[in-house]
Amino acid sequence: MVSGVAILIGAVSTFAAAALLALIHFFTNLFFYQRLSWEVVSPAQNALGLAVILVPAIGGLLVGLMARYGSDKIRGHGIPEAMETILFGKSQMSPRVAVLKPISSGIVIGSGGPFGAEGPIIMTGGSLGSLVAQYLHLTAAERKTLLVAGACAGMTAIFSTPVAALLLAVELLLFELRPRSLLPVALACAVAGFLRGLVFPAGPLFPLQTEPVSMMALVSCVVAGLLCGALAVLLTFALYKTEDCFHKLPVHWMWWPAIGGLIVGIGGYLEPRALGMGYDVIGDLLNGHLLVAAAISLLAVKAVIWVVALGSGTSGGVLAPLLILGAGLGVLLAPYLPGASPELWALVCMAGVLGSTLGAPLTAIVFAFGLTHDSEALLPLMLTTAVAYGLTTLTLKRSIMTEKIARRGLHIFREYGADPLERQHVSDLMSARIIAIDGTIPVADALSHYYDDYNLDRVYPVTSEGRVLGMVDYPTLRAHRHSLARCADVLAPLLPEHVLLPNATARFAAGRMAQLEVSCLPVVQDLDSMNLIGTVSLRDLLRPNRSFIEEETFREKMR
């Protein structure tokens, strides 16, 4: 069922992406050319003069009002908000976010905000998936899957990169790698990829074909990767320092986007091409159509206004600005890096900055390939991005995606590994030395024989002729200590979920204990005989983790 719904969400998110871009073009025409039109235009050709400084401020003011009186969930760049909703909000998004997020993003970007459409569509597509899941009364895990399916389908529709969108889900959004979630997301991305041709031109967004690289490119990729990582660290540091500065302002946060908009407007007056999404700038950088001096000026302004605008809490995305800044770094480095054509360095630095800033290297590598279809660049992309990601991992505690959530006191885990409890079965951990209570003995006798002041927390299986009847603890027996009841009489009815089979995983056992709120469960040979062969306690479930810690820390000598 979830996969079928994911296919539908993939289709809806594709057209939602088209609607969002149309909305951005509408507001661009309205703000910069004072006309009602859906025509694709760039804010760079405006003739407003000094008045252009006020345009982003007006857009920021409108979004500040929408965030305060509509929903403050529309603030931010989309992906961290989606991550927080998944991990701490049971993947429940409100209809307000689904409506206000694209409108607010259209206003911000249309009024010159230096953002791409990918962050807003990730939030919008995720909202659609979450709302459908809530309407169908699905579980939190299923809601998460559909939320991510909508988000990644929207990214696929914007950039025509379905595989990269799927990897984004794995590295940033799903927080698991299981068929139950991966398959629906893959189906949604595939459907969005096929349907994209109905609303957008076919083919890669920035087609590029570079020349084969030489051995000298090995060293050049390492140098480029180090510089990409350094730029990612600088951008992350600058963004959150800027955000701290806004928090110190003696005005309500509703006004922050307007204040940030004034800085954006000044930058737009100095460098008009720094305004808006800048997809045309990415194409020019990749194809070497910008002189180095012009690139330096454009990139400096773009970096400043992007950091200020995002730090002000307005609505926008991070992918397109990072692509521009990374590609610009490559243009600056190209004259000094031997071993490949100049266009390659713009491409690999674009991926290096993106992957190291987001903390998603696989996504960045495949994303760069999907944008250009340049197969010759795959090896340099891999090396440069890996080096950049390694540097930021060693330098930063958290990425630009998780730092924002951590500042709210929430912990985001970013590493996947095999669960030690999945690697062992109940038969490997159970205690075969069974101390069981005969169900025929009186409660008072069981209390005096099996419990004293030192083991009141013990839980014992109750049996009759080797067949388990249930588990009993001290509070249960004590409640019947004055009666003449036998131990078998005070037990709750035994259900199949109250026992474990020896071939069950330790993870299953832990989940069953948590569900029943017990610290010990009996292990039976099979459900027909209910023959007791052992018990598993919480203490037993610690053993796999102990082995895992030894594997991680103990260094063995060579044999």
Tens place of pLDDT per residue across the chain (559 aa): 889 999 999 999 999 989 989 999 999 999 999 999 998 888 888 888 899 999 999 999 999 999 888 888 778 766 777 777 777 777 788 888 778 888 888 898 999 988 887 778 888 888 888 888 888 888 888 999 999 999 999 999 988 999 999 999 988 888 888 888 899 999 999 999 999 988 888 888 888 888 888 888 899 999 999 999 999 999 999 988 998 899 899 999 999 999 999 999 999 999 998 998 888 888 888 888 888 888 888 889 999 999 999 888 887 778 889 999 999 999 999 999 998 888 899 999 999 999 999 889 999 999 999 999 998 899 999 999 999 999 999 998 887 777 777 777 666 666 666 777 888 888 888 888 888 888 888 888 888 888 877 777 788 888 888 888 888 888 888 888 778 888 888 887 788 888 899 999 988 988 888 888 888 888 999 888 889 898 888 888 888 877 767 666 767 676 6
Q: Is the pTM above the cut of 0.85?
A: no
Torsion of CA 361, 365, 371, 376, to 10 degrees: 170
How far is Cα 146 from Cα 151, in angstroms, rounded to an integer? Answer: 9
Residues with Cβ < 8 Å from 507, sequence gap 6 or more?
Answer: 419, 421, 422
Residues 236 and 357 sit within 8 Å (Cβ to Cβ): yes
Cα 155 to Cα 229: distance, rounded to the nearest angstrom: 24
Q: What gap in Å lies between CA 271 and CA 259, rounded to an integer?
A: 19
Closest CA to 15 of 147, 150, 123: 150
Question: Please, what's the b/e burial string for 10-48 (b: 16 or more CB within 10 A of its CB; e: otherwise)?
Answer: bbbbbebbbebbebbbbbbbbbbbeeeeeeebbbbebeb
Task: Quickly name the fold that domain 2-199 has.
Answer: Clc chloride channel (1.10.3080)
Q: How many CA atoms lie within 13 A of 544 on its CB side?
A: 21
- Are 216-255+266-406 and 420-545 the same fold in CATH? no
Assign domain 420-545 to its CATH superfamily.
Answer: CBS-domain (3.10.580.10)
Angle between helices 140-159 and 2-33 (to 10 degrees): 50
Contact indicator for 329, 133 with CB cutoff of 8 Å: no
Closest CA to 98 of 129, 77, 119, 66: 129
> Domain limits of the chain?
2-199, 216-255+266-406, 420-545
Q: How far is CA 257 from the centre of its chain?
A: 25
Q: Give which of 291, 287, 288 is closest to 208, Cα–Cα.
A: 287
User: What's the CATH fold of domain 216-255+266-406?
Assistant: Clc chloride channel (1.10.3080)
